[in-house]
Amino acid sequence: MVIVTGGAGFIGSAVVNRLNQMGRDDILVVDHLGSGEKWENLAPLKFRDYIEKDHFLKKIEDAGSKWLFSGNADEIEGIIHLGACSSTTEFDASYLISNNFEYSRKLSLFALKHDIRFICASSAATYGDGNAGFGDDESRLDDLRPLNPYGYSKHLFDIWARGAGVLDKIASLKYFNVFGPNEYHKGEMRSLVIKAYEQVSAAGALKLFKSHRDDYADGEQKRDFIYVKDAADMTLFFLNNRPANGIFNIGSGRASAWNELAVAIFNAMGKLPCIEYIDMPADIREKYQYYTCADIAKLRRAGYNKATVPVRQAVEDYVKNYLFRQKRLGE
């Protein structure tokens, strides 16, 4: 059995979908569905059981050497821990520490105690403004300065895991700018692709932030964009590769400008580009990342050799096969 926490969420449901494509439904999904539409990501997917995250943690804490769902912990092949608050605009640091750091710590210790493969989500937000680079070298963790509480909550787990001597027994994955189907419930944290699709559909134009630095033209701020299907494949690579431990970047290894992404969106929609540049809100200007690019050499050395889908092709697939058709993964 594979446990996927955050399994109803964006990347989590993509991982469950990919497991289904591999012929597997021996999956326990853990999440908090709340009152939103996240449950709709689960509707097309196949899995054995579902449990809310707080109930799941209580079972973990009470289980001891027994697994309370069916039989023993020996039946669990791996825990893919993707559940977290991923909002970069959440400023309740105590909540983030409890939900992102402490939950991950307890779950990792349970997994290690029972020799269960443990894979968890870190984030490119841990790299801060990028002055310390984007290399996934554990020895440089102390050089990183996240720009928001979310990034810090993820960074804190990596720091703890290293200090506790468990980082070389787990895989902590730093996801860069993931986009694609099943992000519909994420509100303001959705990717530019879906926001642009809605803007262009309604008004025929797209708004992008102006640059407030002389070394970047408007719309030329760059990100490492990775399609969620690639992110799911990279994540599952670690399930059966136990020697691949430590921190790994999950990205395309290529930085693309917002303008490039915007043009790809217009092209996929069959429309001529029409972009308006607007002032970036003052409260985020000092914490805005102008450039991110995943160094994925370590991932390649670990044995992952599949090419990532180019941005233009990924955007076209997302727009034409999901947004236009109002579909989710697995449908």
Give how far the C-alpha of residue 277 lies from the chain's centroid of Cα atoms, to the nearest Å: 28
What's the rounded Cα separation, in Å, for the pair 248 and 255? 17
Q: How many residues does the chain have?
A: 331
Structure tokens at 4: 């996927």
Is residue 216 annotated as part of the catalytic site, yes or no? no
- Please list the residues that pair with 118 across neighbouring strands: 79
Catalytic residue among 46, 169, 186, 210: 186
Question: What sign results for the dihedral spanned by CA atoms 161, 79, 4, 181?
Answer: positive
Structure tokens at 127: 């790299």
**Burial class of residue 238 in the structure, from the number of CB atoms within 10 Å of its CB (0-12 exposed, 13-18 middle, 19+ buried):** buried
What values do phi and psi take at 242, rounded to 5? -60, -30
Is residue 46 annotated as part of the catalytic site, yes or no? no
**Amino acid in the structure at residue 14:** A
What's the rounded Cα separation, in Å, for the pair 279 and 285? 10
Catalytic residue among 38, 103, 127, 150: 150
- Please list the residues that pair with 227 across neighbouring strands: 179
Residues serving a catalytic function are: 150, 186
